[in-house]
Amino acid sequence: MRFRSGSGGNKIPLTKVATKIVDHISSNPDYSFTVSIGTDSQVYHKNGDTIIKISTVILVYKEGNGAIYFLAQDKKTTKNTALWSRMFEEAQRSIDVAEELVPLLKDLEEVNNKIIIDIDIGPDGKTRDTIKTIVGMVTGYGYEARIKPNAVATRAADKHCRGSV
């Protein structure tokens, strides 16, 4: 999976994203940081095909002073557009990114212990019945789970899922 900065630029591998995160945090020693990872997907219909556009965001929040983020996007043609299935896939994709990222951030122990998986589910709406199960899946991997309305990384991912495929 390749990422680009939220402000644009070339796609880079996760190893370079980790380097940029380490540099950013190391150059701001007076701040506390939180790293959150979130994924969103949208279903589109085009030329008779069903396409799911998937966006994953790694968001590095400098407490009280804004954030930077990195974005990876994919598309897949599928017949399965079930909301529950997509919610589980989104959470698993974020977990997979975290599992790859944590060893790359080994020098930032204070951040590794605070990586949050943001999940695009909440107490209102169609996804409320999945909260217990998906949060349990995330915490089972050892990550904190954050849901709507506090899931900021999924909000950024949502922004990039909207529009054409």
pTM: 0.93
Please tell me what DSSP assigns to residue 65.
S
With 0-12 / 13-18 / 19 or more C-beta atoms within 10 angstroms meaning exposed / middle / buried, residue 93 is buried
Average pLDDT over residues 10-15: 96
Transcribe 81-105 into DSSP letters: --HHHHHHHHHHHHHHHHHHHHHHT
pLDDT in tens, 84-129: 999 999 999 999 999 999 999 887 766 656 899 999 999 998 989 9
Q: What is the mean pLDDT of the chain?
A: 92
CB atoms within 10 A of CB 24: 14
The answer to whether residue 165 scores a pLDDT higher than 70 is: no
Residues 122, 123, 124: CA angle, nearest 5 degrees: 90
Task: Please choose, from the candidates 31, 8, 30, 5, the residue with its C-alpha nearest in 3D space to the C-alpha of residue 19.
Answer: 5
pLDDT in tens, 27-51: 998 999 999 999 999 999 988 889 9
Question: 16 and 136 in contact (C-beta within 8 Å)?
Answer: no
| CA separation, residue 2 to residues 17, 74, 109 (Å) | 9, 10, 24
Q: Point out which residues pair with 70 in neighbouring strands.
A: 5, 58
Question: Which domain range does residue 24 map to?
Answer: 2-161
Domain count, the chain: 1
